[in-house]
Amino acid sequence: EDKVVQSPLSLVVHEGDTVTLNCSYEVTNFRSLLWYKQEKKAPTFLFMLTSSGIEKKSGRLSSILDKKELSSILNITATQTGDSAIYLCALCKGGGADGLTFGKGTHLIIQP
């Protein structure tokens, strides 16, 4: 059975800190790994990592895929209160039609 495990489940840090969120997975026929940010409502897309694109960066956020260790990390540097959210890791496999398998998410709280 496909599995996505995120850690930690919750994290409280102070503004300006750097955080690293973890995602490990077990899946047959890996296609891509995605990170989403969920604030009050809908998840919004952050990054997609594939075998041909194992590192992505956007501003203070970056993500790396380690296919050997079957894991990914999401880094946020110089955190701001607006980074407070639930961060979701999801797997896409095979032809991509079967839907995403999501982890339970990491609830990140940034204190001023």
By CB under 8 A, name the binding residues for other proteins: 4, 31-32, 34, 41-45, 48, 88, 90, 92, 95-105
d(C-alpha 75, C-alpha 80), whole Å: 13
Q: How far is the CB of 53 from other proteins (least distance, A)?
A: 12
Token pair 């001023």 is found at 112
At residue 81, φ and ψ (nearest 5 deg) are: -60, -30
At residue 91, φ and ψ (nearest 5 deg) are: -110, 140
Q: How far is the CB of 64 from other proteins (least distance, A)?
A: 18
Choice between 16 and 99, CB closer to other proteins? 99
Radius of gyration over alpha carbons of the chain, in Å? 14
Choice between 87 and 110, CB closer to other proteins? 87
Q: How far is the CB of 78 from other proteins (least distance, A)?
A: 26
